[in-house]
Amino acid sequence: MIKIKEVSVLISVGVDVSKGKSTVCILKPYGEVLMSPSDYEHTQRDLKKLADQMDSFEDEIHVTMEATGNYHFPIATYLKKRDYDVRIVNPLEMKRYRCQGIRNPKTDSIDAVMIAQYGIDFWFRPSQDYADDNERIELKALGMQYFKTMKTRQDRCLVLESVIDRTLPGIGSILNDYDKHTGKDKKSDFVYDFYHADKITVYSEKRFCDKYASWSKKKGYRYSEKEARQLYSIAKDSIPTLPSSENTKLIVQDAVKILREVDASLYDILTRMNEIAKCMPEYATVMEMKGVGVSIGPRLIAEIGDPRRFHSAKALIAYAGIDAPPYQSGKFTGTERHMSKRGSRIMRKLGFELMDTINKHQKQYAGDPVCEYFLAKRNEGKKYRVAMFAAYNKFLRIYHSKVSSVLNESVK
């Protein structure tokens, strides 16, 4: 329960968060300072001092701070456990609020005062607090870890590609890449054993096809004679710029080993996310939606969390950063607006993956409202990505409605 005092005097606590510490200022309306900006370490002892100081006031208290990655979690979590109303503000919104003067000086103390003043100015802004349980918090953390690990994988793929271009150029278009569902990467497995064109052309074409068949069986891949002949043809026509030596072997195999570690990490994270997501009441509903599978579903649940924390579907769309804010001045009204991209990057990436899946399975998803809407936009002559994110907008509206209903029913 949030602490709400009977006396209707406003007390705003502004917290400027840094790594390992926060600068705190406490104000009343009209600039009355109850506590000058002071530093508190993110430790049990210092935060207890702060909470005890706040307990000494008999008026209603709101705590305001900026979202600062992971830095604000310790003090926000501690004060929430002490039953204070903690409000997390988007840093961009706070920056625009603070930069209203001419000089705009910036120090931790000045920022703490401005955040406290912001808390007073926007005191009556409604705030719905849907406290996430530990499972949702862990799922969200795993989703972020998956996103960051995937970025690492992209970097390692570039490293491996640059090496392959000098030892076995041209095979990238033949072999499949990483499979999210199995955790296997056929291309990296192949170049680990056949790291140079000479390791292929040393055999005759028939002999290599036999070798490739036994290799595919050993690694658990489906054998294709056509694929084997294509690989042999590419190796025969390629011009390697690194010699077939032990040093080259080390370079290629080292790049593959690192990539394998990243792939194994991605597979483990996604597997664990699926296990946690299955415990969520909305899991079955989300997985029934077209385009959502074992890769997208858990990540979508992790990133959105409880959709009831968004006051409407429009707020969820804005969170994804695919909204187009209106622009009107005088007699002019803007009609060709770009999406804001002021939201979650992960949500936009998931939207791209989701709509790409729907586009590839149009016949299977015939009759689905999101797929039909996407095709209608394409038939209107809209560009692919315009139609894609228009349909993703519709998907999020349906998601907000369905999942909110399921969660409300589960509470009953």
Residues 168 and 65 in one domain: no
Instruction: Among 72, 103, 127, give the residue marking a domain's end.
Output: 127
User: CA–CA separation, 227 vs 200, rounded Å?
Assistant: 13
Residues 146 and 273 in one domain: yes
What is the model's pLDDT at position 10? 87
Amino acid in the structure at residue 183: G
User: CA–CA separation, 26 vs 353, rounded Å?
Assistant: 46
- Read off the CATH number of the domain in which 13 is found: 3.30.420.10
Encoded tokens for 297: 């579903």
Burial grade of 193 (CB within 10 A; 0-12, 13-18, 19 or more)? middle
- 2 lies in a domain? no
Instruction: Among 127, 149, 184, give the residue marking a domain's end.
Output: 127
Give the orientation angle of helix 296-304 with respect to helix 134-167, to 10 degrees: 130
- 43 lies in a domain? yes
What is the model's pLDDT at position 412? 65
- 28 lies in a domain? yes
pLDDT in tens, 158-183: 999 999 999 998 887 788 777 777 77
Instruction: Among 219, 244, 277, give the residue marking a domain's end.
Output: 277
Give the Cβ contact number of residue 319 at 10 Å: 19
pLDDT in tens, 10-26: 899 999 999 999 999 99
Count of domains for the chain: 3
Residues 141 and 265 in one domain: yes
Whole-number percent of the chain with pLDDT over 70: 96
pLDDT band at 7 (very low <50, low <70, confident <90, very high): very low
Task: Say which residues have a Cβ less than 8 Å from residue 232's Cβ, sequence separation at least 6.
Answer: 200, 201, 205, 208, 209
What is the model's pLDDT at position 398? 96
Lowest-pLDDT choice from 30-39, 276-285, 321-330: 321-330
Residues 357 and 242 in one domain: no
Task: Say which residues have a Cβ less than 8 Å from residue 163's Cβ, sequence separation at least 6.
Answer: 251, 252, 255
- 325 lies in a domain? yes
Residues 318 and 355 in one domain: yes
pLDDT in tens, 315-335: 999 999 988 888 788 878 877
Residues 182 and 110 in one domain: no
Per the rule left: phi > 0, alpha: psi between -120 and 50, beta: everything else, 149 is alpha
Residues 140 and 229 in one domain: yes
Interval 214-234 mean pLDDT: 91
Interval 223-239 mean pLDDT: 92
Residues 271 and 140 in one domain: yes
User: CA–CA separation, 179 vs 118, rounded Å?
Assistant: 48
Has residue 81 got a pLDDT over 80?
A: yes
- 1 lies in a domain? no
- 398 lies in a domain? yes
Residues 148 and 247 in one domain: yes
- 208 lies in a domain? yes
Domain holding 305, by residue range, is 283-411
Has residue 2 got a pLDDT over 50?
A: yes
Has residue 128 got a pLDDT over 60?
A: no
Interval 345-366 mean pLDDT: 92
- 401 lies in a domain? yes
Between 132 and 333, residue with greater pLDDT: 333
Residues 96 and 50 in one domain: yes
Compute φ and ψ for 81, nearest 5 degrees: -65, -25
Residues 11 and 114 in one domain: yes
Residues 41 and 161 in one domain: no
* Structure-token match 């990243």, residue found: 262
What is the model's pLDDT at position 129? 55
Interval 260-279 mean pLDDT: 93
